[in-house]
Amino acid sequence: MRIFGVLCLVLLVCWNVRSCSARTALPKLETTRKFFIFGDSYADTGNTQNTTAFRFPYGITFPGKPSGRFSDGFVQTDVIASRVLHVASPPAYATLLANTSTSISSGMNYAVGGSGVTYAFGLPTLQTQVQWFSQMVKAGAFTPADLKKAVFLVSVNGNDYGAYNGTLENYYLLVPEVVDLIDLGMRELYSLGARNFMVSSLAPLDCLPSASRPSGFKACGKNSTIESVLSSHNFLLGRKLVKFIKHQKGSNVVYLQQTKAIRHIQKNLPEFNLTEAFKPCCNGLCAEVDAGGSPLYELCQNPGLHMFWDNVHPSQAGWNAVVDLYQHGFTRFSPSLNAWIDGLCK
Ligand SMILES: *[C@@H]1O[C@H](CO)[C@@H](O)[C@H](O)[C@H]1NC(C)=O
Ligand SMILES: *[C@@H]1O[C@H](CO)[C@@H](O)[C@H](O)[C@H]1NC(C)=O
Ligand SMILES: *[C@@H]1O[C@H](CO)[C@@H](O)[C@H](O)[C@H]1NC(C)=O
Ligand SMILES: *[C@@H]1O[C@H](CO)[C@@H](O)[C@H](O)[C@H]1NC(C)=O
Ligand SMILES: *[C@@H]1O[C@H](CO)[C@@H](O)[C@H](O)[C@H]1NC(C)=O
């Protein structure tokens, strides 16, 4: 099994080198790698309107004021853009709608905080986000060469499960439906010319501050339903991606092991210069105030020490730690995010 794996890797690398060099032989075809982002608040950089992400104290670390990011600063998108892809974090689609002069040279962020792939609070689903992208592709905003070289992040973190309001027995049936719809969105992107996909596993739903609150932020929550939904989603998505890789010729997929990465950080805080695994920096109803204007939350001294910024969202420091892990491991179908990027056509 092991030898077989190594052989495949060697063949794959050789194949890549050959197919890439054929194209790099053509002069002046080099463009920067574009980055396209789909999903929810773990990836959104400003597509929600009138949400807490546009209110103090969101954005206090970066850019120093609220910017539509569900964090004190960078979210995963910004960290991947700057540290892994070395491109500017692409503008939010809403920014382009508001100002058609917005540069799209680094790509575009279509992710919408709170959204999912099913109903999920009625927000624009992955399918809708893919349609926005499709309209732009069909209008000629991006060339086929751009798309082939571009990296597509698909980050769906559990709003479908959070918004579910049916019976507990049917809750489990939601898992294959969510996984199928992620796959459908990816296949649509593929048919539009996308080839390189970073897909993340779920947020650690049982170890978010919201789940850890009953323990006084000392431990993960204990709910066997949540735990089994989480593990079956991650397992089924992995299996679906194996099929995707097999059938979508020329696709390059890396599965970001987000659940594992965040758990690892929570168990090894000092390695990441963090001190708080569960307690969010913005503790309470972050950004909400009472009728008299008094905050309904408490703000910590140093968000840089907390894994989480609010009840469900990592802090900038948390995202830095997560992406750092991906760069060296915590991935499937490639040994690390860095190795995956190096294997793509330049
Ligand atoms: C914005 O949100 C506030 C509080 O949730 C609500 O009262 C207000 O009507 C919203 N405004 C718009 C334009 O949606
Ligand atoms: C629109 O975007 C362009 C390019 O970034 C910028 O120069 C211009 O000031 C923006 N216009 C408005 C009204 O914000
Ligand atoms: C419950 O979920 C369904 C979609 O599954 C949605 O249409 C409905 O509005 C939701 N009801 C409430 C009260 O949120
Ligand atoms: C566990 O989570 C499910 C789904 O959110 C919920 O319906 C159920 O009440 C929870 N169980 C316990 C014991 O809290
Ligand atoms: C933690 O802090 C130390 C001292 O400032 C620094 O050398 C190290 O690189 C930091 N580690 C991480 C993972 O940020």
Question: Atom 6 (ligand 3): residue with closest C-alpha?
Answer: 119
Q: pLDDT digit string (tens) for 135-183?
A: 999 999 999 999 999 999 999 999 999 999 889 888 999 999 999 999 9
pLDDT band at 20 (very low <50, low <70, confident <90, very high): low
Question: Atom 10 (ligand 3): residue with closest C-alpha?
Answer: 165
Query: What residues contact residue 251 under an 8 Å CB cut-off, 6+ apart?
Result: 190, 195, 196, 197, 244, 245
Residue 215 Cα, ligand 3 centroid: separation in angstroms?
30
Given the residues 40, 41, 146, 206, the one annotated as active site = 41
| Torsion angles phi and psi, residue 110, rounded to 5 | -100, 0
Residue 272 Cα, ligand 5 centroid: separation in angstroms?
7
pLDDT band at 117 (very low <50, low <70, confident <90, very high): very high
Can you tell me the distance from the alpha carbon of 312 to that of 71, in angstroms, rounded to the nearest whole number?
Answer: 10
pLDDT band at 31 (very low <50, low <70, confident <90, very high): low
Q: Does domain 35-343 have CATH number 3.90.400.10?
A: no
Ligand 3, pocket-test mutation among 115, 117, 118, 119, most atoms within 8 A of CB: 119
Contact between 254 and 333 (Cβ < 8 Å): yes
The question of whether 310 is a catalytic residue gets the answer yes
User: Is any ligand 5 atom within 6 A of the Cβ of residue 273?
Assistant: yes
**Angle of CA points 313, 316, 319, to nearest 5°:** 75
96: Cα within 13 Å, side-chain hemisphere: 17
Residue 44 Cα, ligand 2 centroid: separation in angstroms?
21
One-letter amino acid at 318 equals: G
Q: Please name which of 128, 134, 112, 263 lies closest in space to residue 189, comparing C-alpha atoms.
A: 134
Q: pLDDT digit string (tens) for 243-286?
A: 999 999 999 999 999 999 999 999 999 999 999 999 999 999 99
Neighbours of 122 (CB within 10 A): 9
Neighbours of 346 (CB within 10 A): 10
Span 83-111, average pLDDT? 96
Residue 248 Cα, ligand 5 centroid: separation in angstroms?
41
Residue 103 Cα, ligand 2 centroid: separation in angstroms?
9
| Confidence at residue 219, expressed as pLDDT on a 0 to 100 scale | 96
Closest ligand relative to 162 C-alpha: 4
Closest ligand relative to 161 C-alpha: 4
Given the residues 233, 306, 310, 315, the one annotated as active site = 310
User: Is any ligand 4 atom within 6 A of the Cβ of residue 226?
Assistant: yes
pLDDT at 26 over 90: no
Q: What is the DSSP letter of 20?
A: H
Closest ligand relative to 48 C-alpha: 1
Residue 102 Cα, ligand 2 centroid: separation in angstroms?
6
What is each CA distance from 343 to 103, 238, 334, in whole angstroms?
28, 20, 9
pLDDT band at 81 (very low <50, low <70, confident <90, very high): very high
Q: Please name which of 58, 80, 81, 57 lies closest in space to residue 68, comparing C-alpha atoms.
A: 58
Strand partners, 107: 35
User: Is any ligand 5 atom within 6 A of the Cβ of residue 274?
Assistant: no
The question of whether 41 is a catalytic residue gets the answer yes
Closest ligand relative to 121 C-alpha: 3
pLDDT band at 66 (very low <50, low <70, confident <90, very high): very high
pLDDT at 4 over 50: no
The mean pLDDT of the chain is: 91
pLDDT band at 25 (very low <50, low <70, confident <90, very high): very low
Residues contacting ligand 3 via CB (< 6 Å): 119, 165
Query: What residues contact residue 148 under an 8 Å CB cut-off, 6+ apart?
Result: 193, 195, 345
Q: Where are the alpha helices (DSSP H) in 218-315?
A: 224-247, 258-267
Contact between 303 and 316 (Cβ < 8 Å): yes
User: Is any ligand 2 atom within 6 A of the Cβ of residue 100?
Assistant: no
Question: Atom 14 (ligand 4): residue with closest C-alpha?
Answer: 223
Question: Atom 8 (ligand 5): residue with closest C-alpha?
Answer: 273
User: Is any ligand 2 atom within 6 A of the Cβ of residue 101?
Assistant: yes
Can you tell me the distance from the alpha carbon of 172 to that of 176, in angstroms, rounded to the nearest whole number?
Answer: 8
Span 178-202, average pLDDT? 98
| Confidence at residue 9, expressed as pLDDT on a 0 to 100 scale | 37
| Confidence at residue 32, expressed as pLDDT on a 0 to 100 scale | 85
Residue 294 Cα, ligand 1 centroid: separation in angstroms?
18
pLDDT band at 120 (very low <50, low <70, confident <90, very high): confident
Q: Please name which of 124, 116, 104, 131 lies closest in space to residue 191, comparing C-alpha atoms.
A: 131
Contact between 311 and 298 (Cβ < 8 Å): no
